[in-house]
Amino acid sequence: MKWIYKITFPNGKIYIGKDLTGTFRYFGSWDSELVKNDHLNEGINVFVINREILWQSDIASDEEVNFKEVEFIRKYKSNDPSIGYNKWPKFKS
């Protein structure tokens, strides 16, 4: 199974990612330094993130999944640094 997911962090920012293998424990490859810097001074003792599957397919090609990922990044504007942690595609205000 292949899917596109949205991760929501404690500060409300999001990250859109893809998993081409359907690995239940995979939570993406966001920039951990960006996330850490946003949460460093919040005094968080419990760090809970939420992963929501936005789209899934067992027949889509990897290219189709890549296209869908960009589609969802743009839809949710997770490449806007004030909204999310996606660095690509480059956000244009």
- pLDDT digit string, tens, across residues 27-86: 888 888 999 888 887 667 778 899 999 999 999 999 999 999 999 999 999 999 999 999
Task: Determine, yes or no, domain membership for 93.
Answer: no
Task: Determine, yes or no, domain membership for 92.
Answer: no
| Size of the chain, expressed as the number of residues it contains | 93
**pTM here?**
0.91
Residue 69 CA, distance from chain mean position: 9
Task: Determine, yes or no, domain membership for 71.
Answer: yes
- In this structure, are residues 73 and 86 in contact, taking their beta carbons and an 8 Å threshold? yes
Task: Determine, yes or no, domain membership for 60.
Answer: yes
Query: How many domains does one find in the chain?
Result: 1
What pLDDT is attached to residue 28?
86
Task: Determine, yes or no, domain membership for 41.
Answer: yes
Domain region containing 18: 2-76
Q: 22 is written with which tokens?
A: 């359907």
Task: Determine, yes or no, domain membership for 33.
Answer: yes
Long-range (24+ apart) CB contacts under 8 A made by 57-61 are 57/1, 57/2, 57/3, 58/1, 58/2, 60/2
Amino acid identity for residue 58 in this structure: D
